[in-house]
Amino acid sequence: MDKRKDNNPHRTAEAKGALDAENRRPLSECPYKAPQFRNSWLRGYQKAQQLDFFEGNNG
């Protein structure tokens, strides 16, 4: 079975960004230096912040 589709480091970086946003880690403390991974981390961070914003206004 081919598992290459499961080996995507950008998904890992995006998940890490979402987790960091949930834990209120500052945006300036992005752990990635490579622009590609930084973008993936920021994508996850931004998605998690938007979800938090919308969920906070409903309650």
3-state secondary structure of 43: helix
Whether 47 has a pLDDT exceeding 80, the answer reads yes
5 within some domain: no
37 within some domain: yes
- List pLDDT tens digits, range 21-36: 999 999 999 999 999 9
Is the distance from CB of 45 to CB of 21 less than 8 angstroms?
yes
18 within some domain: yes
6 within some domain: no
Number of structural domains the chain divides into: 1
Range of the domain at 18: 11-23+32-58
Whether 50 has a pLDDT exceeding 60, the answer reads yes
46 within some domain: yes
Distance of CA 47 to CAs 35, 41, 52, 57, Å? 18, 10, 9, 16
39/14 Cα distance (integer angstroms): 8
